[in-house]
Amino acid sequence: AQSVSQHNHHVILSEAASLELGCNYSYGGTVNLFWYVQYPGQHLQLLLKYFSGDPLVKGIKGFEAEFIKSKFSFNLRKPSVQWSDTAEYFCAVNSGGSNYKLTFGKGTLLTVNP
Amino acid sequence: DTAVSQTPKYLVTQMGNDKSIKCEQNLGHDTMYWYKQDSKKFLKIMFSYNNKELIINETVPNRFSPKSPDKAHLNLHINSLELGDSAVYFCASSQREGGTEAFFGQGTRLTVV
């Protein structure tokens, strides 16, 4: 069964600091990987996704993530965070070729102080 | 032009009642889901439907009964509500093939008192 672990429960940064949120998954086959963001009181929105090809993917709002197959990791990065990035961030995985089950990590709350 | 819409947005009800949450998607997707987000923000899949057919039922109590009248709708009916059912319920949809992302509705915050 696939599973996702996010290492950081709560990250607190000041504006302009760099961000890296860890995500590791366990699944032996082909995977599709996603990062979603949930702003306070809102629904989940897709930040970026990886299916195949270049392991460094760029998403919206200056976020990027790198897929490292050997480490089963898909860490999210942003060089300079803003106060408006304060939100809950979820890593998710589903097995390639089928979307019947999207498994989420437990989420990381990012608080950016102005 | 909302892609995935759920109603109601908020639902407060007493223990033992029966309630429904409706979900509709206008994206032409084949697959729809219900997720439950608990107070710690953990998202857990409850059901997955593909073309009106139940694909995944993640050991959800049978008080929860999803119904898909057509592939654009996936409603969730809950019987005999319990305090532990209080959570935010998200509907989502995606294409079946190709690993496309899931699009989420705004969520329904259910509070059982």
List, for residues A60-94, the tens digit of each pLDDT value.
999 999 999 999 999 999 999 999 999 999 999 98
pLDDT of A8 > 70? The answer is yes
- Rg, Å, chain A Cα set: 13
Residue A38 with chain B: CB contacts under 8 Å: 41
Answer whether A99 sits within 8 Å of B99, measured CB to CB.
Answer: yes
Q: Could you say which of A34, A42, A101 has the minimum Cβ distance to residue B101?
A: A34
Whole-number pLDDT of residue A31: 85
Mean pLDDT of chain B: 91
Question: Dihedral sign, CA of A88, A89, A93, A99?
Answer: positive
Following DSSP, what letter does each residue of B57-91 receive, concatenated? E-S--TTEEEE-SSTTB-EEEE-S--GGG-EEEEE
Is B5 an interface residue toward A (CB < 8 Å)?
A: no
Answer whether B45 sits within 8 Å of A97, measured CB to CB.
Answer: no
pLDDT in tens, A12-48: 999 999 999 999 998 777 888 999 999 988 889 999 9
Instruction: Find, among B49, B44, B61, B8, the residue nearest to A103 by Cα.
Output: B44
